[in-house]
Structure 1
Amino acid sequence: MGKDLVQKAEEYAKTYPDCQEVAKQSWLAGYDAGKRSKSRKKELDLSFVPTDFLPIIKRWVEYKQERKQAYTQSGIEACYHKLLELSNTNPNIAMAVVEQSIANNWAGLFELKNGTGIQLSQTTNQSPGSRRESVNQFAELSRGLLQGLASKKD
C-alpha cells in the first residue's frame, strides 16, 4: 500500500480524535473494497446467442466497452432480440447494422439506411402491393440520382 494512501487515511482519522486507529483502518478497508469491486467485471453470459451471431454481438459489446458503457445481462438479451428484429435474423444484415452504428458513433442499433437518409425496410411481412410501391419509390429515387449525375458530366 502506497505512502500517499496511508497519509490520506491518517488525515481522515484526525477528524475522529477518540478512535483514530479504527478510523484509519476503516478508511483503508473501504478504499480496498472499492478498488476490488471496480476491478471485478461481470462477464456477460452469451450462451443464448447462436454461433453465427456471436461475433456480431461480441463486436457490439466491445464497442460499447470502448465507449465506457456496459450491458447488464437482461440488457444484452434485449439488444440481441432488437438486432434479430432489425436484421430479419440475417447475420449479414446484422453485421451491417452493427457496423453502421459503430461508424456513426451511435449509442444504439438502428434500421439500416441506404446512404440517402431513407431507411431500408427489412421486413418480410409487407403486402405485395406495399413492396412494389417501395421498389417503385426506390427506382424513382435512383433515376433522379442518376439523372443528376449525368447532368453534372455535361
Structure 2
Amino acid sequence: MSTGTDDEPRWLSDDEQRTWQAYLQAGALLEDHLDRQLQRDAGMPHTYYGLLVWLARAPRRRMRMTELAQNAKITRSRLSHAVARLEKSGWVRRESCPSDRRGQLAILTDAGYAVLEETAPGHVEAVRGALFDRLSPEQVQQLGDICRIMAEGLQPETGADLPWLR
C-alpha cells in the first residue's frame, strides 16, 4: 500500500483499517443497543431522547429549533419530524420565537421532563454497561480526548460553540 502522493489516495494501513472497522462496528452496535433500551423503556429512539436531554439542559427548558438541530447534529427537516412526534406524545411543544417571527422554540413540557426522569436511570445503566464499565479510567480519558479532537476537526466553521466538549 502506498503512503500517498498528491495524485494518489492515502490508503489506510492494516492497523488503521482494523481500527476503522472496529470503530464502525462498535458505533453501530452501541447505537442499536441504546435504541433498543430506550424503545423498550420509553417508546422512543435514542435520537429523540437526546433532543429531550438538550431541552432539559437549556435555560427554561426551551431552545430555538435551529439551535437544537445544530446541537443534536440533525437536519432541520429531521428535527421537525422528531419534534412533531414528541409533540404528539405531549413531551414537547412549539411556540413562535418572540424575537423572530419566523423562528420557533421547542419547549420541554413537564410530561417530557417526567419521562426523562423516569428513563434516565435505565439509560445511564445501559451506557455504563456497554461502554464505561468495560474501560479503565485511563481508557475513558483517552476516549474522551480522541472524541473531542475528532469533533473539533469535524465541526463546521460557523463559530458555533461546542458545549458538549466542556
Q: Same fold (TM over 0.5)?
A: no
Q: What is the TM-score of this pair, normalised by structure 2?
A: 0.19
Q: What is the TM-score of this pair, normalised by structure 1?
A: 0.20
* Structure showing greater Rg: 1
Structure in which a larger fraction of residues adopt strand: 2
